[in-house]
Amino acid sequence: MSRDTDDGATSGATAQGFDPKLIEPYIVKDPEALALNVARALENLGKAASTWLAPRERGEIVDPVSQPLTELVKTMSKVAEYWMSDPKRTLEAQSYLLAGMFGAWTRTAQRLAGGETAEPSPQLPNDKRFSDEDWQRNPFFDFLRQVYFIGSEWAERMVSDAEGLDEHTRHKAAFYVRQITAALSPANFVVTNPQVYRETVASHGDNLVRGMKMLAEDIAAGGGDLRLRHTDYSKFTVGENMAVTPGKVIAQNDICEILQYEAATDTVLKRPLLIVPPWINKFYILDLNPQKSFIKWCVDQGHTVFVISWVNPDERHATKDWEAYIREGIDFALGTVEKATGEGKVNAIGYCVGGTLLSAALALHAKERNKRIASATLFTTQVDFTHAGDLKVFVDEEQLDAMEERMRASGYLDGSKMASAFNMLRASELIWPYFVNNYLKGEEPMPFDLLFWNSDSTRMAAANHSFYLRNCYLDNALSKGRMKIAGKTLSLKDVKIPIYNLATREDHIAPAKSVFVGSSLFGGPVTFVLSGSGHIAGVVNPPGKQKYQYWTGAAPTGAFEDWLEKAEETPGSWWPHWQTWIESLDDKRVPARKPGGGALNAIADAPGTYVLERA
């Protein structure tokens, strides 16, 4: 998560004096109507509270609240200890904060007296949460804005300047500070958000009635947990207006379904394409709709496309670990491809953790002299987790022990827990704006296919998730040549096949630097490409949109910053560049193939049945 600095209001050089007319929209015109609606809103809030409490009173939900709060208090106490252990440092910290607050108060007092004041120096950040004009025009809200940024900057500085913290503790402290400051933004409260305040007065509080009704509905939809709605879910149905590229399920086991898509060209590339998506999300991010679908685009280029659709696991899959996901997922898919096409070699794609699994599978295959995968493309994939970003905040021995204890009880990690963690990485974009829009303004969110997919969360099999977090985030075992699967110690240096390694510049899950560093671990040629935008939009960027850009350059060695400085920027999508790379490896073509060939019968139409299971 990072503070937005390229959107919203632009700070002016001076702030005008106080205009009494500015308070008119905030004066309650009908106190009786407002009081009645506030009572109705409180009634709906009571229903929301009852819906939240009921499953907890029945013992159906046990909230391990103490563990994350303990982590936060323990981490922040280490920061406080540094500043409070020395009176001189304590005075320094207090003086810095008070100086900023006094400056904000002085500027506000001057405006209330009718004078004009200069903007604080340095100027406050541009932030779309504060885009309403009254954040600057109205002295009251302007004061709140100044105090918020002064306090936020002070808190971040207390973490960054604290000495004696280990890297993980400092990382956690900085993350917790960002979560706290995001939650305490004055934009998140009725009487301190000018737009919400005005709407509450204008509608006599009807917005709060609608908002609290939506809150109760969203807690009910989450079975007692808040399921924050990001979009209008009624507008999307998987298999009807999402994931509609024609194809068939041609194989199935306990872990996955294998989909083969129907050809759209008279001839197809001889070498089939197998996509290994992450199991943390569902595969149809690559097939949202015909205009955005990477899968359809590949079919249109002449690929015979196969996709693994992972099961949404439950207690039956508790012991399925990475070896199972390789053997019963990737290897099962490779066998299916060979039966359906007669081809012994494929081009493979792995996305995010699907790419990490694919990389481990390649290293295992190298040990076993399995040469079925002729090339691999990795989308936003980490194999070295040294620079893995804010998700590392959730991974240390104590937190993993607590998570594994919870997973032992059910056999899996609930999908909502992982979704919440991802949303926390960008709380100022994925949590609080929707909280304000839904529950304070009482407005339904707009239909957005990407956010529908984002909310369609999946569970994590206990053994699989534990192996991933311990071996990758905690021990970084794959990059160190210490990961063990099927009794073999894996080394990425054994992977000699060509690799196309795609990173995205604004990625908060697989940071570009992390992906770049991982490129040097493979034993064969690696083509590193950097796309504009983030973890999803940087990948799902069809050529027809003419959005963003990508960078290409020399072999990925040395420092990422040095590579980027010399890289060549190209406008638009990286997809055609990748297609050229694929065809440079093998461009032989054969007559178009039908799903299953003559060896396998269709089990179901794409997108299959596993993808329809909701967590």
CA 606 to chain centre: 26
Cβ proximity of 260 and 595 under 8 Å: yes
Structure tokens at 408: 């032992």
Could you give the C-alpha distances from 580 to 490, 548, 574, 583, in angstroms and in order? 31, 19, 10, 5
Cis omega (within 30 of 0) for bond into 122: yes
Contacts of residue 69, Cβ cutoff 8 Å, sequence gap at least 6: none
What is the DSSP secondary structure assignment for residue 238, as one 8-state letter? B
Catalytic residue among 256, 298, 352, 472: 352
Q: Alpha helix (H) ranges present in 551-604? A: 560-566, 575-585
What is the DSSP secondary structure assignment for residue 328, as one 8-state letter? I
Catalytic, 352? Answer: yes
Please name which of 509, 555, 547, 514 lies closest in space to residue 531, comparing C-alpha atoms: 547
Cβ proximity of 307 and 275 under 8 Å: yes
What is the C-alpha separation between 411 and 316, in angstroms, rounded? Answer: 7
| Sign of the C-alpha dihedral computed for residues 580, 582, 583 and 584 taken in this order | positive
| Sign of the C-alpha dihedral computed for residues 317, 320, 322 and 328 taken in this order | negative
Please name which of 399, 534, 300, 462 lies closest in space to residue 69, comparing C-alpha atoms: 399
What is the C-alpha separation between 447 and 451, in angstroms, rounded? Answer: 8
Structure tokens at 161: 């300047």
Kindly report the three-state secondary structure assignment for every residue of 37-84.
HHHHHHHHHHHHHHHHHHHHHCCCCCCCCHHHHHHHHHHHHHHHHHHH
Cβ proximity of 499 and 376 under 8 Å: yes
What is the DSSP secondary structure assignment for residue 223, as one 8-state letter? T
What is the C-alpha separation between 108 and 105, in angstroms, rounded? Answer: 5
Cβ proximity of 532 and 550 under 8 Å: yes
What is the C-alpha separation between 138 and 17, in angstroms, rounded? Answer: 9
What is the C-alpha separation between 541 and 450, in angstroms, rounded? Answer: 12
What is the C-alpha separation between 221 and 228, in angstroms, rounded? Answer: 9
Structure tokens at 537: 């939009």
- Residues facing 501 on adjacent strands: 378, 528
What is the C-alpha separation between 145 and 149, in angstroms, rounded? Answer: 6
- Residues designated as active site: 352
